[in-house]
Structure 1
Amino acid sequence: MGLRERNAERTRDHVIDVALELFFSQGYEQTTMEQIAERADVGSTTLYRYFPTKDLLLLTQFAAFDWGQALRERPADEPLGRSLALILQSTLESTSSRPETGRLRALIDQVPVARARLWDIATQSRGGLESALADRTGRPADDVAVTMTARMMYQIYEVAFDQWWAGDHSASAVDGLNRLLGSLNQGELILPSPLENATTSRRQE
């Protein structure tokens, strides 16, 4: 990474820190982009170049997750299940180790536009993971095994994080993840059974 890129990254990180400090202290809706630019000592043009909308400042931690790229960077001969577990571990370690994660999560829950944007981010990221899974397994991207694996990855992460966050935070989030993965791999997940002679019928009037 060159000097310009390092300076840009430092500026970006500084702006995020300032924005979160303002969001936590005075509220998301009450904080303006102009206030953030002034407190961070950057021009408005610079701020909007890094973050076109205010909600991206709130969601930058989650927007950084690129599980598709992470999977492509794993060794090709590594068992796929291990690759996915290590990706989950890395993500959970990153989020649970940040002191602002809890307050950030609570704040996002209070901001409808941020929740909607987070859904869009997750959908886009899941598409990248599906593409990487398809390449890794030789299956089509819309294969049911590929789509269900990608969706389960996000559900596993969400459950592991929620269980850790609901506790006293003294326990390791990764230990909780490992227990969850152990339960799933031991067949404790109950799936709906295939229907016999399933048909679609319309109620007779």
Structure 2
Amino acid sequence: MAATSRIPSFTAPETQPTMGLRERKKLKTRVAIRQATYRLIQEQGYDATTIEQIAEAAEVSPSTVFRYFATKEDIVLTDEYDPVLEAMLRDRPLDEPPLESVRLMIREALTTVLTAEDEELRQRTRLMAEVPAVRARLTESMSDTGKVLSQVLADRTGGSPDDLRIRVFVAAVLSSVREVTLYWSEHGQEGDLRAMLDRAMDTLESGLRL
């Protein structure tokens, strides 16, 4: 599958907490690996792109690539936004219903991505929809985000992130985001993605009403 959009930059979100020199170097390496991966995918397709080629293009060793990303699919799917989502959710009023807090967090984060990295988002979601290996890895890759959101919600409620209700709630939200994203990409990336996600949250809130 050959990509058609411009090469994504995948720069780190400006709202991330201040990082030390070591963390900045790690982030720089991660971004370089992603840039190289997307450039190669654009040029020759996903399946033809190897870890060895990615390492050479990023000017690192293959072992360094694997130290940062367990699989090629993870290079495509992993981003730097979990700390941003965590900060956004923690900033919501404590007396706000959890679903409303999550809805507004998603809307704000998506607005930021669409403004700064619209083409990057489109290329990534195309890979999610069109490359079976990426799609298969998607749910597993979202587990880290799920852990972050579960911890924030547990802190807000005084409960445990392993509470069944919290786990079910977070799983439902992230599954909704996954399905909306895939639906949007499968249908030519047409329409307002934010509005689609709003409708998904409405469905979670009120149930399926046909």
CA distance in 1, matches of 2:189, 2:129: 20
CA distance in 2, matches of 1:67, 1:124: 13
Query: What SS class does the counterpart of residue 56 from structure 2 fall into?
Result: helix
Query: What SS class does the counterpart of residue 102 from structure 2 fall into?
Result: helix
CA distance in 2, matches of 1:34, 1:150: 36
Query: What SS class does the counterpart of residue 100 from structure 1 fall into?
Result: helix
- Please give the TM-score of this superposition, normalised by the length of structure 2: 0.67
Q: Match of 1:47, as an amino acid?
A: V
Larger Rg computed on CA atoms: 1
2:122 counterpart residue number? 102
CA distance in 2, matches of 1:59, 1:102: 13
* Matching residue within 165, 181, 193 for 1:161: 181
1:197 counterpart residue number? none
Q: Match of 1:189, as an amino acid?
A: L
CA distance in 2, matches of 1:85, 1:31: 36
1:200 counterpart residue number? none
Q: How far 1:60 sits from its partner (Å)?
A: 1.6
Q: Does the CA-based 8 Å contact 1:160-1:180 persist in structure 2?
A: yes
1:195 counterpart residue number? none
Q: How far 1:150 sits from its partner (Å)?
A: 1.5
- Please give the TM-score of this superposition, normalised by the length of structure 1: 0.68
Q: Match of 1:105, as an amino acid?
A: T
CA distance in 2, matches of 1:39, 1:101: 22
Count residues in correspondence.
188
Can you give the 5+ residue segments of structure 1 that lack an aligned partner in the other structure? Answer: 192-205
Distance 1:125 1:178, change over 3 A: closer
Q: Does the CA-based 8 Å contact 2:127-2:134 persist in structure 1?
A: no
Q: Match of 1:41, as an amino acid?
A: E
Q: How far 1:20 sits from its partner (Å)?
A: 1.0
Q: Match of 2:104, as an amino acid?
A: L
- Sequence identity (%): 30
2:12 counterpart residue number? none
CA deviations 1:185-204 (Å, max 9, x no partner) are: 5x46349xxxxxxxxxxxxx
Distance 1:161 1:115, change over 3 A: closer
